[in-house]
């Protein structure tokens, strides 16, 4: 599971719950002729699965690693070429106004015992974050607690706007200064403990949040929401743990299923959803357990079909620099041992210039167990991970091909 999510005990319970609601490998989706901004009715679609190739002896791009203390860095965002933020799970916020040359540290006053799970800035001053605290009684669905906090001064000070119990927020995203979404998972007791979707929506700058979870009425159970993508007012697309996409055009009052990808392995976790520059959806995730480890990327095609790629590294975050140029981050296991058998994880950054068919290792570090998030500002990608590691990657191209000038740090 991606980091800054659930504690180990919650993960064990969740794994059992998720395994009960998914059958064999199947895929359906919207068969459309253009980008997914205007989705048609759901229909059967085809998928082409590809085992991608990773070239581990090739290093690309110019890489500049540095450390911000020794914290567990969870998220990064840039709003333009100069201004950006990096956040740690325990509440440190680093801000830059000079393209990452210098970073100013602030402490977020998180509630006692809470960790930061996600943040979203819409301009240089206004931003929101989600924090959560796992309850001590894992069988009590109301023992979890979450907070949504707002800053009006670029992250210097924060105030709680919303507080609730019985849910965990995976992602918070604001479309603009007025409208935002917070999605995640809620545990409920219906004879047995169950995991169900949790969706909050605001169009009042976060001063008032509406729980629209019950408006999502799928034809079969949905266990939780991991990401939300929005580019228009009142519209949003969400992805579930196992890769089902739902869309609303009226602030969550109604939901339409766009597509569904239920992988043959119930342990595959889809944690990231976005659109390519041309407007087609892509989703990303992976699996890392006793069965093995893999990273998964699925990309929607112009004819409504999908193509998926798998490699032997776990994907935690990614972005499409262009329709063919992709950067992803996560971790790999050089010794090949699963984590349950004492396997060693190393943070890894990969890049593909042919839309996912072939990948090259941009950077790998044995002293950082994972890279957790990435963002782009101008011609550079910023990747953050464990032990306070921050990596800046220049993204130059030459005649359409990537310049081979990077390194692997061992």
pLDDT at 105: 97
Mean pLDDT confidence for 291-297: 89
pLDDT band at 313 (very low <50, low <70, confident <90, very high): very high
pLDDT band at 188 (very low <50, low <70, confident <90, very high): confident
pLDDT at 161: 98
pLDDT at 407 > cutoff 80: no
**Is 328 within 8 Å of 385 (Cβ atoms)?**
no
pLDDT at 215 > cutoff 80: yes
pLDDT at 11: 45
Distance CA 384, CA 70 (A): 12
Q: Tens digit of pLDDT for each residue in 16-66?
A: 444 333 333 333 333 333 344 444 343 334 456 666 777 665 455 689 999
Mean pLDDT confidence for 357-368: 92
Q: In the chain, where are the structural domains located?
A: 1-32+108-262, 46-101+292-410
Distance CA 284, CA 269 (A): 8
Q: List, edge to edge, every strand of the sheet that includes 380-385.
A: 63-67, 389-394, 380-385, 371-377
- Per residue in 123-132, is it b (16+ CB within 10 Å) or e — as a string? eeebbbbbbb
pLDDT at 60: 53
pLDDT band at 228 (very low <50, low <70, confident <90, very high): very high
The mean of the pLDDT values for the chain is 83
Q: Tens digit of pLDDT for each residue in 100-126?
A: 999 999 999 999 999 999 999 999 999
């Amino acid at each position: 599971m991606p980091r800054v999510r659930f504690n180990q005990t919650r993960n064990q319970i969740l794994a059992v719950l998720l395994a009960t609601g998914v059958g064999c490998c199947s895929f359906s989706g919207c068969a459309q002729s253009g980008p997914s901004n205007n989705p048609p009715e759901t229909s059967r679609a085809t998928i082409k699965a590809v085992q991608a190739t990773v070239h581990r002896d090739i290093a690309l791009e110019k890489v500049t690693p540095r450390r911000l203390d020794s914290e567990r860095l969870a998220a990064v965002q840039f709003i333009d070429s100069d201004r950006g933020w990096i956040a740690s799970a325990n509440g440190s916020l680093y801000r830059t106004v000079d393209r990452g040359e210098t970073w100013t540290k602030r402490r977020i006053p998180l509630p006692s015992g809470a960790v930061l799970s996600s943040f979203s800035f819409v301009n240089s001053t206004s931003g929101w974050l989600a924090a959560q605290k796992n309850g001590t009684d894992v069988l009590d669905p109301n023992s979890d607690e979450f907070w949504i906090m707002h800053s009006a001064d670029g992250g210097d000070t924060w105030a709680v706007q919303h507080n609730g119990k019985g849910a965990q927020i995976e992602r918070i995203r604001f479309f603009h200064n007025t409208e935002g979404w917070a999605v995640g998972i809620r545990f409920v007791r219906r004879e047995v403990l169950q995991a169900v979707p949790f969706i909050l929506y605001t169009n009042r700058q976060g001063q008032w949040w509406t729980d629209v979870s019950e408006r999502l009425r799928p034809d079969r159970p949905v266990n939780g929401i991991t990401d939300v993508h929005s580019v228009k007012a009142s519209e949003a697309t969400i992805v579930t743990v196992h890769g089902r996409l739902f869309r609303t055009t009226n602030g969550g009052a109604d939901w339409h299923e766009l597509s569904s990808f239920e992988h043959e392995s119930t342990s595959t976790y889809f944690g990231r959803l976005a659109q390519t520059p041309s407007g087609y959806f892509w989703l990303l995730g992976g699996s890392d357990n006793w069965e093995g480890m893999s990273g998964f990327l699925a990309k929607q095609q112009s004819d409504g079909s999908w193509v998926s790629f798998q490699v032997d590294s776990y994907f935690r975050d990614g972005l499409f620099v262009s329709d063919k140029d992709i950067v992803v981050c996560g971790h790999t296991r050089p010794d090949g041992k699963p984590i349950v058998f004492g396997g060693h994880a190393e943070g890894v950054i990969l890049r593909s210039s042919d839309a996912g068919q072939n990948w090259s290792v941009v950077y790998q570090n044995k002293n950082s167990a994972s890279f957790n998030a990435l963002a782009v500002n101008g011609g550079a990608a910023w990747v953050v991970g464990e032990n306070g590691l921050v990596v800046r990657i220049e993204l130059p191209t030459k005649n359409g091909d990537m310049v081979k000038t990077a390194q692997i740090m061992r």
